[in-house]
Amino acid sequence: MERNTKEGNTDDAKVLHADQFIDIVKNQKIQYDTLFSLKVWRPNPGLYPESTKSITDSILSSARVKDVVDQVSVSTSKSRNQIRNELIAILKEMGHTFQLSTVRMLAWFVAKLLRNLYHGLLINKYGLTNLRKAMSEGPLLILPTHRSYADNLLVSFLSYTMNMPLPVIATGMDFKGMQGVSRLLQGAGAFYIRRSFGQDILYWTAVSEYIQHHITNFQAPMQFFLEGTRSRVGKSLTPKSGLLAMALEPYLKGEVPDIKIAIISISYERTLEENLYAFEILGIPKPKESTMGFIGAVDKIRGENFGRIYVNIADPVSVAEKLNKRPTPNWNTPYFRFVADENTKNDIKVLATELVCKQQKGVITPISAVLLSILSVQQMDLKQLSQQFALFNSCLAKFATPCLIQGDLQESIEECLSVHKSKIDSNDQGRYRYAPIGEHSQDLQSRAASRLALQLYSNQVLAPLINVALFAYLKPKLSTTDEIISETEFFVKYFSEEFVLIQPCNEKDLLVLNSIDNGTLDILSHLLQPYIEILFVIVNILDMGVLTPKAIVTCYRKIVTRVLEDRISDHLEILAIDKIPRHLLNLTMNGNINRVKSVKEGTAFRVVDVTRIISRLEKYVCQPLSHLLKTQRDQFISMESRL
């Protein structure tokens, strides 16, 4: 089990100090936003995004594009000019239209938001220095975590503030429908791509060439989100390696000597979309992005307190060091028809996973995430809360990235409690507890949403400490070291899609884990329980013979609703359906189910064996839950046999 060390230190525990960070908002509050937006911007190093026309002309003249145009023309019976015009239309819709005047407008807007909503935006000085250095050395990919809409422009805002080159940003087509806003984003360096390309070779080529042009003709860093979408659950998701593979192709073909990758971990004391996310993962569709919706959302949060934002920039990663063996050229195939071999594709996937793990480990844990995790389990007065927080932060310092404490600890805690005053209250004895609005609602979905808003923050503790949590969960239930080690291997196998950092432990790890205080272990164990219950319900549903994705979700909702209404479980979080696809993928990867497709029924699953998982998990769930699912399974099988 890997343990982190502080940059430049050999100590086991990582320690963060306020003087290692620069506070952008603090500086912002002593200057006028208009003067800031109109400041002289001279990036160092002196890189500026290319014009749209220059990029388009270069792409259209490339050998690869000409070859694909010929192929598509033959396969579709369209003329080359028609195909070329389609390609021009794709590039026009997709490409950025960088204008410094647009950047200034957005800088003014973001400065206003930060000034009014946040106490601070802290970024590590050491990381800034290394990021600037990497920009001067050659092609650079910037890969931030993605847990809020705010992530899209945060790096650009920091770059503008610190007089660094602005990145071009891969952005989802969702924003394209926002009139006015979409053009502003394109003017600030955003380029739009579809969520999936399917078998559209022309579109795939346009995106690939667009990205690779920015790598080989390095005029600006390239930014995209490795997870492919926003994480709505407060923790890193498994990576999507498609864009990364496209971006690394110039290196693999020998067109550039190296590409650097800058990992940026962003965390929030309070997330702008906390309530929206809660309902989304319950299965309620998010509102369609629109300009009026955006304006309305900004108006609703005006005057609220969202605490601080933390930005942690890791040391840039050299692709040449990670993928030091380039594929052997195929001299019988033109260079522009390059296709990576299976070993190279696998190496890129491994690198993508390593980068996401690095992101997760580098996230500075918000103070509020620890406080909400503690108070979700037990009530405490300020003194007790401060003591437990210190112990929890000590654990984070050993295994992840701890909280950044500025000044007095109790004052910092009180400040964070006020940020989440809608979720936390105190009684006459001064004891704080988690008590969100909607806690006593008669509507199960509203109560579950309140709990899921909490999980958004507790996951920011659970995800980096997942191996500690797993030990905490297993320790009181198993009697020997060998049993604990064996069970961690089982949980790693079936939760690898849920927690990117989960890994087996050994006897040496257990010695370290045994030194953690019981209070921290109890809290982490409690946070893990709903994840166990969710998997247990899913494998039981599969064992019933419910095999299509839609039917699985419907059956899951029905069973879990009954579980919660009958108070068999008090973990309202299990009503969320977002984890179902990840578990189905994991079970498929482990050979417990097979994914099959048919023209008539679409996607379905064929069960190979889930009974062993059920029997393995039964000892970790309460008897009433196990009994209910067994009864449901027997009734379903009986009904199927009569049909």
d(CA 543, CA 634): 10
pLDDT tens by residue, 415-441? 999 999 988 988 888 899 988 766 667
Beta strands in 125-178 (DSSP E): 140-144, 168-172
In contact, 216 and 224? CB cutoff 8 Å: no
**Reduced 3-state DSSP string for 537-557:** HHHHHHHHCCCCHHHHHHHHH
Strands 140-144 and 380-381 turn out to be unpaired
At 315, list the tokens: 């040391």
Please report how many Cα atoms fall inside a 13 Å half-sphere around the Cα of residue 278, on the Cβ side: 21
**Per-residue confidence (pLDDT) for residue 435, from 0 to 100:** 83
Would you say residue 302 has pLDDT above 70?
A: yes
In contact, 366 and 403? CB cutoff 8 Å: yes
Amino acid at site 457: Y
Tell me which of 187-191, 424-428, 617-621 is least confident: 424-428
d(CA 482, CA 493): 17
At 39, list the tokens: 């400041």
In contact, 169 and 223? CB cutoff 8 Å: yes
d(CA 433, CA 285): 31
At the second CATH level, the architecture of 1-15+372-456 is Orthogonal Bundle (1.10)
Would you say residue 516 has pLDDT above 90?
A: yes
- Beta bridge pairs of residue 267: 310
- Helix or strand holding residue 277 (H, E): helix 274-280
Positive or negative, the CA dihedral 319, 323, 325, 326 is: negative
Among residues 397, 408, 316, which one has the least CA distance to residue 364? Answer: 397
Backbone angles phi, psi at 257, to 5 degrees: -75, -25
Phi-psi region of 73 (alpha: psi -120 to 50; beta: other; left: phi over 0): alpha
Q: What is the pLDDT averaged over residues 73-78? A: 92
**Domain definitions of the chain by residue range:** 1-15+372-456, 18-362
Question: How many angstroms separate the Cα of 407 from the Cα of each of 73, 135, 411?
Answer: 67, 34, 8
Among residues 255, 197, 266, which one has the least CA distance to residue 226? Answer: 266
Among residues 187, 242, 254, which one has the least CA distance to residue 216? Answer: 254
pLDDT tens by residue, 338-353? 888 899 999 999 999 9
Would you say residue 268 has pLDDT above 70?
A: yes
Among residues 152, 163, 174, which one has the least CA distance to residue 48? Answer: 163
Please give the mean pLDDT across all residues of the chain. 91
**Predicted model pTM:** 0.94
Among residues 335, 339, 400, 318, which one has the least CA distance to residue 365? Answer: 400
What does the CA dihedral 32, 37, 42, 44 come to, rounded to 10 degrees?
80
